[in-house]
C-alpha cells in the first residue's frame, strides 16, 4: 500500500498545491485503497494488487480534465499538517488536559481541606480555635487556587501554538493521515466511554457517602462532605483530561465550516465560565466569613457545576442545531 501512496505523491508533486488538487489526490487515494483491498481479498498477491491498481490509474491529465480541477494555485490555502505535527498536537493536548484537570481538582480539594479542618475542630480537637482553623483552611484553599491558576495559564500557553487547530480550523489533513487519526479516535472511543461512565458513577455515589455518614452520626457530616468533594474532584479530573483528548481527535477531523460555529460556542461558554466560577468563590467566602455558614456553603460548588453543565449542554445543542 505504501507503494501506491508514494506513486500518487510523485504524480502530484509537480502539480499546484491547491485545495482542489489535495481533494482530488485524497479522493483518488481512497478509490485506489478500496480497489487494492478488494484485489487482496480475491487472492491477489501484494505485487499483483499494486500493479493492477496503478495500471488502472490512468493518465493524470485525463483525470484532471475529467474532474474539472483547475491547475491554478489557490491564493489562500490552509497548511497541510504532517504526521509529526499531528502527534505533537495530540501530545500537547494530553499534557495540557492533565494540568487543567489537576488545577480544577486542586480547587475542589482546597474546599474539601477547609471543610475537613473545621470538622476536626468541631469534633473535639481543641489545640486550634475555630477562628484559627478557619483562617488556616482559607489559606490552604487560596494556595490551592493560586497553584491551579498557574497551571491553567501554563496549559493555555502550551496550547497557544496550536490555536489554528483548536479554535480556527485553518488546516487540512491528507486522506491517509485523516484515516490514521480516525483509527486512533475509534480505538480511544471505548476507553473514553468507560471513563465517562466511571465519572458519572462517582458523581452519583458521592452524596450517598455523605447521607450514609450523616444517618449514623450527624457529627461526621463534615467528613462526609470532604469525602464527597474528593470523589467529585476525581470525577472532574477524568472528565477534563479524557474529554480534552477526545476533543483533540474531533477537532483534527472537523472542517473549517464546522469550527466556525464551535468558535462562537467556545467563546460564549468560556465567557460565562470566567464570570460564574469567580462569583461562586466570592459567594463561598462571603457566606463563610460574614455569615459563618461553613457547614453548608460548600454546596455552591456541586450545584454550580451541575447548572453550568446543563447550560453548556443546552447551548451547544441549540448552536449546532442552527
Q: Please give the chain's pLDDT, 322 residues, in tens.
A: 677 777 777 776 666 666 666 776 777 777 778 887 887 788 888 877 777 877 776 666 666 555 555 445 444 456 678 888 889 999 999 999 899 889 888 888 888 888 788 777 777 666 667 677 777 878 888 898 889 889 988 988 888 888 877 776 667 787 788 888 889 999 999 999 999 899 889 888 888 887 888 787 777 777 888 888 888 889 889 988 998 898 889 888 875 544 555 555 556 666 666 677 678 777 877 787 777 776 677 677 767 766 766 666 666 556 554 4
Bridge partners of residue 51, in order along the sequence: none
CB atoms closer than 10 angstroms to residue 172: 18
Nearest 5°: CA angle at 140, between 138 and 146? 100
Max distance between CA atoms of the chain, in angstroms, equals 90
Residue 79, classed as helix, strand or coil, is coil
In the chain, domain spans: 2-67, 83-321
The predicted pLDDT at position 71 comes to: 47
pTM (2 d.p.): 0.65
CB atoms closer than 10 angstroms to residue 254: 12
Alpha carbons within 13 A on the beta-carbon side of 86:
23
Amino acid at each position: 500500500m505504501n507503494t501506491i501512496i508514494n506513486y500518487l505523491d510523485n504524480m502530484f508533486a509537480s502539480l499546484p498545491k491547491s485545495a482542489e488538487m489535495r481533494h482530488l489526490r485524497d479522493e483518488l487515494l481512497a478509490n485506489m485503497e478500496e480497489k487494492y483491498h478488494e484485489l487482496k481479498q480475491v487472492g491477489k498477491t501484494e505485487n499483483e494488487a499494486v500493479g493492477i491498481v496503478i495500471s488502472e490509474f490512468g493518465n493524470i491529465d485525463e483525470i484532471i480534465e475529467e474532474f474539472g480541477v483547475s491547475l491554478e494555485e489557490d491564493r489562500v490555502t490552509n497548511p497541510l499538517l504532517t504526521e509529526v505535527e499531528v502527534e505533537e498536537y495530540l501530545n500537547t493536548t494530553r499534557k495540557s488536559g492533565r494540568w487543567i484537570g489537576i488545577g480544577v481538582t486542586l480547587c475542589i480539594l482546597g474546599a474539601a481541606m477547609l471543610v475537613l479542618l473545621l470538622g476536626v475542630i468541631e469534633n473535639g480537637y481543641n489545640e486550634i480555635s475555630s477562628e484559627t482553623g478557619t483562617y488556616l483552611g482559607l489559606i490552604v484553599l487560596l494556595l490551592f487556587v493560586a497553584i491551579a491558576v498557574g497551571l491553567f495559564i501554563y496549559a493555555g500557553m502550551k496550547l497557544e501554538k496550536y490555536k489554528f487547530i483548536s479554535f480556527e480550523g485553518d488546516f487540512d489533513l491528507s486522506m491517509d493521515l485523516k484515516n490514521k487519526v480516525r483509527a486512533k479516535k475509534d480505538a480511544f472511543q471505548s476507553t473514553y466511554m468507560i471513563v465517562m461512565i466511571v465519572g458519572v458513577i462517582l458523581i452519583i455515589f458521592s452524596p450517598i457517602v455523605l447521607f450514609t455518614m450523616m444517618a449514623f452520626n450527624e457529627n461526621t457530616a463534615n467528613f462526609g462532605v470532604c469525602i464527597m468533594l474528593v470523589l467529585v474532584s476525581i470525577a472532574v479530573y477524568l472528565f477534563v483530561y479524557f474529554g480534552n483528548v477526545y476533543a483533540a481527535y474531533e477537532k483534527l477531523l472537523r472542517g473549517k465550516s464546522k469550527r466556525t460555529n464551535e468558535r462562537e460556542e467556545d467563546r460564549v461558554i468560556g465567557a460565562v465560565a470566567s464570570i460564574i466560577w469567580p462569583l461562586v468563590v466570592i459567594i463561598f467566602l462571603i457566606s463563610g466569613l460574614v455569615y459563618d455558614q461553613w457547614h453548608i456553603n460548600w454546596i455552591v460548588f456541586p450545584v454550580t457545576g451541575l447548572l453550568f453543565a446543563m447550560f453548556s449542554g443546552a447551548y451547544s445543542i441549540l448552536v449546532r442545531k442552527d
